[in-house]
Structure 1
Amino acid sequence: MGAFITAIGTANPANRYAQKDLAQFMCEHLALSQPEQKKLQVLYRATGINHRYSVLDDYKKKPGSFTFYPNQPENEFFPSTQKRMLTYREKALPLAISAVTECLGGKHQLSEFTHLITVSCTGMYAPGLDVDLVKALNLSADIRRNSLNFMGCYAAMNAIGISKEICNNQPEAKVLIVSVELCSLHLQKEFTEDNLLAHSLFADGAAAVVISGEENASHPSLEIVSSASQLLMNGKNDMAWQIGDFGFQMALTAYVPKIIEGGIQQLATKLFHKTNLKIADIDAFAIHPGGKKILEAIENELGISKEQNCAAYETLKNYGNMSSPTVLFVLKKVWSELKTQPNKKILSFAFGPGLTLESLLFKTT
């Protein structure tokens, strides 16, 4: 028995924005004072992000030609949650299909899939994305469907864990995971510390993963070896995600990196205890880049170098934090560099509301 990742695909919307241009848009569109503008621009420069993607093209337009945001912001509320959800429903499916298409690459038959797991915390509707994917991809009508909603940045890790359990019980199973997040739909107008930090980090993206109960002898795979999780209740109020009247509202305090730093060693020890390994046995790291300070905190606590964690920094630089698909972007990059090298161990971490820490150990085949 076992569970193996046989393919990972990623996708981003067509609209690619420089971080400095997004900072300028925020300064202008949120009607900030000079001190507020300076604070925002300093924060945006410090993120380590060069570019981010969005399904919205308003960020390259001027007021009067917006299609999503109000054209007279001083007289109107920002888009309602209803409008944001309608936009999510319109934009999420094509992006998800792009990720699936890249993932499958003509090497998999859609009729082979026995299970579909969709992951998202930036939009919900019913019948949902899972049903739309079944129809759009012509998946089997009796495919087993699960949706992980509103779990945040670590949810794709949970989807992989569930897939491992499915494959352990059903060796013939083939699971398709589809994670899609449209974080840019939830810009908030109020100038608060939480909003300022969230606006500087988050972006849109999608990823798809194929997990099989049987190793493919003709193609490299990633064996899912083990997992561990840790809930840090002292961070319960420092990372949260609430549904408001005008979009989803994030609580994201500056204390998050320190809280993660305080719990990451315990999580790693728990995983290593299961596998009789130690940090020196790990060949590569695939860490969710929740932010530059989070990455630095983990490196400091686990004693790993920035060079060992370079895939996370590169993903953050080129895409920002896309919530749940982000760690899959990192894992895809790390795996691509090790595909020709069997028995390499990859340690992955992701974090989210709760405050929740998740870990997975992979081995190349």
Structure 2
Amino acid sequence: MKSYISAIGIANPSYKIPQMQIADFMAEATQMNSQEKRKLSALYRSTGIDYRYSVLADYSKHTGVFEFYSNTPDLEPFPMIEQRMRLYREHALPLCIQAVNNCLFAYQDFRIKDVTHLITVSCTGMYAPGIDIELVEEFELSTNIKRTAINFMGCYGAFNALKAADAICRSEPLAKVLVVCVELCTIHFQKEKTEDHILANALFADGAAAVIMEAQPRSSCSISIESAYCDLLFDGKSDMAWHIGNFGFEMRLSSYIPDMVKKGIRKLTDKLLEHLKLNINDIHLFAIHPGGKRILEVIEEQLGMQKDDNRYAYQTLKEYGNMSSPTILFVLKALWNDLQKADAEKNILSCAFGPGLTLESMLLKVNYT
């Protein structure tokens, strides 16, 4: 018995902002001098990001016309956690609805009311009754639907949702699982000029993704989950972390993360493939979480990949930035859009990373029926 991804839908907020325009906002908001501005511009140009999406228009504006942040030179009084969670509650659900509708558009033979399990993923906001219950109400799903919420896991959260959905489908042949990931990373902007905050402010964006999973392959193209493997590198425990502060959620994001990934990615991949009696030469396609340009380069070095092998990760990073948990689903969606019948039975290696330092990997396979 296997599980199959039958469709993926993605969604972004309405504000699509050029990366260098966001750099201008950050320089002004943190009151940088000319030397600091030059360094910031160099950092933003080096990210491989062209655009990011946000629920906030302020990142494309200057002091005096902000709608959320204070119209003062230092942005004081700075928004408290309550104000940021109000934004999350206002914008997260509509983004989820859009992603689910796009997923259904991609799978028009599927009836949303047949969903038996709902799994929601988020690390950038929370409230109760939460998004899971609101989605049940919005799509008029059964009130006795089985709900699971996966929270505060960061960029690898979608992997845990897919693994949970996989377990459900393998144990319940009639299961229809809807997975919904949503993150509003940009509502947590921090203005202190620390390395962590400057780096996080340069990478993260807002987005949502939805996935339908079933125990039988769809009567066209679907992607099966063959196996998964997770590991922890405690040496990197302090290099990536996510805490709730008085002024929003605060990311600990060290420049040493690529070195940590370099240390563990080959072992992670070997363990995954060893279980399936495969080797790296049996991998045909890659869906890697674009945690940053340097992380992608390190993975290529360690796995003997060409840059073109990582094209879906680079494409996602360029067009959207890092949206935390939905990002890997954006990468898979970009890959899916290129699939043809000749790709049947091809293996896909997918990886993501997050606090812990957690390394997640998954082997997928293209199916055509």
1:48–1:292 contact (8 Å) kept in structure 2? yes
1:225–1:362 contact (8 Å) kept in structure 2? yes
- Residue 338 of structure 1 and its aligned partner are, at CA, apart by 2.0
Corresponding residue SS for 1:85: helix
Task: Tell me the alpha carbon deviations over residues 251-297 of structure 1, each in whole angstroms, 9 at most, x when there is no partner.
Answer: 00010001001000111011011111111111100000000000001
Aligned to 2:10: 10
- Residue 30 of structure 1 and its aligned partner are, at CA, apart by 1.9
1:3–1:167 contact (8 Å) kept in structure 2? yes
Task: Tell me the alpha carbon deviations over residues 149-186 of structure 1, each in whole angstroms, 9 at most, x when there is no partner.
Answer: 10000010110011111111101101000000000000
Unaligned runs of 5+ in 1: none
Corresponding residue SS for 1:309: helix
Tell me, in whole angstroms, the C-alpha distance in 2 between the residues paired with 1:194 and 1:35. Answer: 19
- Residue 334 of structure 1 and its aligned partner are, at CA, apart by 1.2
Aligned residues: 364
Corresponding residue SS for 1:76: coil
- 1:247-326 matched pairs, under 5 angstroms: 247-326=248-327
Aligned to 2:93: 93
Aligned to 2:366: 364
Tell me, in whole angstroms, the C-alpha distance in 1 between the residues paired with 2:146 and 2:77. Answer: 41
Q: TM-score, normalised by structure 1?
A: 0.98
Alignment match of 1:344 (pick from 337, 343, 346): 346
- Residue 75 of structure 1 and its aligned partner are, at CA, apart by 6.8
> Which one-letter code corresponds to 1:77 in the other structure?
P
1:78–1:189 contact (8 Å) kept in structure 2? no
1:8–1:103 contact (8 Å) kept in structure 2? yes
Say if 1:32 and 1:170 are closer, same or farther in 2 by CA, change over 3 A: same
Aligned to 2:81: 81
- Residue 27 of structure 1 and its aligned partner are, at CA, apart by 1.1
Over the residues paired in the alignment, what is the CA RMSD in angstroms? 1.0
Query: After TM superposition, which residue ranges in structure 1, 4 or more long, deviate above 6 angstroms?
Result: none
Aligned to 2:109: 107
> Which one-letter code corresponds to 1:359 in the other structure?
S
Aligned to 1:237: 238
Aligned to 1:180: 182
1:2–1:171 contact (8 Å) kept in structure 2? no
Aligned to 1:195: 197
1:10–1:205 contact (8 Å) kept in structure 2? yes
1:281–1:345 contact (8 Å) kept in structure 2? yes
Aligned to 1:205: 207
Aligned to 1:129: 131
Corresponding residue SS for 1:264: helix
Corresponding residue SS for 1:237: coil
Unaligned runs of 5+ in 2: none
Corresponding residue SS for 1:221: strand
Tell me, in whole angstroms, the C-alpha distance in 2 between the residues paired with 1:234 and 1:308. Answer: 29
Tell me, in whole angstroms, the C-alpha distance in 2 between the residues paired with 1:5 and 1:69. Answer: 40
Alignment match of 2:118 (pick from 116, 119, 124): 116
Q: TM-score, normalised by structure 2?
A: 0.97
After superposing the two structures, state which structure 1 stretch, 287-296 or 136-145, moved more: 136-145
